[in-house]
Amino acid sequence: MKENIIPEEIQKYVDAITSEIKHYSNILDDKQIKSIYFGWGTPQLIWLENIQKITDTIVQHFDAKDLEEFSIEMNPYPQDEVLNIVKNLSKKYKDFARVRFSFGIQSFDNKVLSQSDRDITYPWLVEFLRTLQKIKQDHNIFNLDFIAFGQFNESKKWNLQLRNPSSIDFFSKLSESKFIDSYSVYTLELFPWSLRYYQKKDTNCPPFSKEGTHKVGEDLNPSSFAEQLPLQKGDIICWSDDDVYEEFAILKDILLEKWFKRYELSNFSLLWKSSIHNRVYREMWDYIWIWTSASSFIQKPNEELRKYLQLKWASRAVRRNNTTKLAEYEKWNRLDTVSIQDLSDKDIQIEEFFLSLRTDKWIQDISKYTNILVSDYKQKIQSYADQWFISVLEDKIKLTDQWMDIYNDIITELLQEI
């Protein structure tokens, strides 16, 4: 891994990041920070010492005495490097209330792992987790990411079953062990560059595999599947969203059964182990992301910040992104001025409503949202409550763990057309 990285490039990256951190510490009045998060999957590529350098710059220039969570998201490989980072960061930041690691496991299905170009296997992951268990410290929080890919096959009795039943047993035992504090379970989202994005578009699939076909050899290069599926020219392969939601439901039910609480649409945790970082967005705390195309949200920006954001008047709240252009960013032209959104009270109210409904937090005082809700919202809420979709307590509502899945439908039905 290290050999592919150009030290000068890493140095330029770390210098650019630390200078943006210092820039913000010079223009913000309130320098108290609650959480630090290294995200986008491969921080280990910049090496332990640079992760520490960036963290120390934050601690030096901001008030981190009440920091609630230091969190870093990583792929679980290369194992030695990853475990070394876990051990050293946990030791270095032993005074932080929480040092949290989120590992991108994604799946225990070998075909899915190789199809997602992950150079690891299910047995390898089992060994990795067993080793990880031995180095866990008291102030560590471990989170695992999974994606429901919906890969089923038919059992001897023609029942649909996830392709690798033993992995489900292992997932169940792992969640029972409580060594992992939380799980993020996502439903696969398809992007135009992903193969499945095109497959899903077709509709005439043989009954077993429901929707979606592609003919190998026509617009599908057989070699790209050779490892996973023995495909011949003209073969048909299919996938479907239902399978994705089915797998999501299996993983969700196991976690709820093992006393994990669903604190957000895709996130489940043991009591008191939910991620501060994951709550920051949904509970609309101010946050600043650093680096190219990074987004930030700040309420009541002070004069210095308004000047930096070229805002001529006092603002209720502002959301904005950094430029995507590295060259501009390195010249300190960090702002993507087109992206600046000056949010009104109503904008904030709408975001507050639909963001908090996707968490385990009660929406307080529902009547204060009357101006953004449909006129018969009370009747609708009552009917949801009758179906156990929503819990209602006086003027407070929240979705039940089981029914957060239909969040989008409920939001669409309750909010007035914007």
- Residues 117 and 155: their CA atoms lie apart, in Å, by 27
- Residues 34 and 98: their CA atoms lie apart, in Å, by 11
CA 357 to chain centroid, in Å, comes to 17
Q: Does 278 bind ligand SAM (CB under 6 A)?
A: yes
Among residues 145 and 247, whose Cβ is nearest to ligand SAM?
A: 145
**Residue whose beta carbon is closest to ligand SAM:** 184
Q: Choose the binding region for ligand SAM from 98-106, 219-227, 231-239, 369-377 (rule: CB under 6 A).
A: 98-106
Min dist. Cβ of residue 230 to ligand SAM (A): 26
Q: Strands of 63-124 (E only): list them.
A: 69-74, 99-106
Q: Does 147 bind ligand SAM (CB under 6 A)?
A: yes
3-class secondary structure, 310: coil
Among residues 72 and 305, whose Cβ is nearest to ligand SAM?
A: 72
Q: In this structure, are residues 277 and 69 in contact, taking their beta carbons and an 8 Å threshold?
A: yes
Min dist. Cβ of residue 278 to ligand SAM (A): 5
Min dist. Cβ of residue 116 to ligand SAM (A): 9
Cβ count near 4 (within 10 Å): 6
- Residues 9 and 163: their CA atoms lie apart, in Å, by 42
Q: Does 110 bind ligand SAM (CB under 6 A)?
A: no
Q: Does 143 bind ligand SAM (CB under 6 A)?
A: yes
- Residues 299 and 165: their CA atoms lie apart, in Å, by 48
Q: Choose the binding region for ligand SAM from 182-190, 221-229, 292-300, 346-354 (rule: CB under 6 A).
A: 182-190
Among residues 184 and 359, whose Cβ is nearest to ligand SAM?
A: 184
Phi-psi region of 293 (alpha: psi -120 to 50; beta: other; left: phi over 0): left
Q: Does 109 bind ligand SAM (CB under 6 A)?
A: no
How would you write 25-63 as a 3-class SS string? HHHCCCCECCEEEECCCCHHHHHHHHHHHHHHHHHHHCE
Q: How is residue 231 written in tokens? A: 């495909």
**How close are the terminal C-alpha atoms of the chain, in Å?**
48
Burial (CB count within 10 angstroms: exposed 0-12, middle 13-18, buried 19+), residue 298: buried
Among residues 213 and 278, whose Cβ is nearest to ligand SAM?
A: 278
Among residues 199 and 315, whose Cβ is nearest to ligand SAM?
A: 199
Q: Does 124 bind ligand SAM (CB under 6 A)?
A: no
Chosen residue from 14, 38, 89, 104 binding ligand SAM by CB under 6 A: 104
Q: How is residue 356 written in tokens? A: 């908090």
CA atoms in the 13 A half-sphere facing the CB of 235: 13
Min dist. Cβ of residue 263 to ligand SAM (A): 11
Min dist. Cβ of residue 69 to ligand SAM (A): 10
How would you write 73-86 as a 3-class SS string? EECCCCHHHHHHHH
- Residues 378 and 384: their CA atoms lie apart, in Å, by 10
Q: Does 270 bind ligand SAM (CB under 6 A)?
A: no
Among residues 249 and 335, whose Cβ is nearest to ligand SAM?
A: 249
Min dist. Cβ of residue 269 to ligand SAM (A): 9
> Which residues in 184-223 contact ligand SAM (CB under 6 A)?
184, 186, 188-189
Determine how β-strand 69-74 pairs with β-strand 99-106: parallel
Min dist. Cβ of residue 311 to ligand SAM (A): 30
Min dist. Cβ of residue 241 to ligand SAM (A): 12
Chosen residue from 20, 69, 145, 336 binding ligand SAM by CB under 6 A: 145
Q: In this structure, are residues 99 and 149 in contact, taking their beta carbons and an 8 Å threshold?
A: no
What is the DSSP-derived secondary structure letter of residue 269? E
> Which residues in 363-392 contact ligand SAM (CB under 6 A)?
none
Q: Does 106 bind ligand SAM (CB under 6 A)?
A: yes
Min dist. Cβ of residue 104 to ligand SAM (A): 4
How would you write 133-167 as a 3-class SS string? HHCCCCCEEEEEEEEECCCEEECCCCCEEECCHHH
Chosen residue from 73, 181, 243, 264 binding ligand SAM by CB under 6 A: 73
Q: Does 275 bind ligand SAM (CB under 6 A)?
A: yes
Q: Does 102 bind ligand SAM (CB under 6 A)?
A: yes
- Residues 130 and 36: their CA atoms lie apart, in Å, by 27
Q: Choose the binding region for ligand SAM from 22-30, 50-58, 100-108, 122-130 (rule: CB under 6 A).
A: 100-108
Among residues 188 and 318, whose Cβ is nearest to ligand SAM?
A: 188
Interface with ligand SAM (CB under 6 A): 71, 73, 102, 104, 106, 143, 145, 147, 184, 186, 188-189, 275, 278
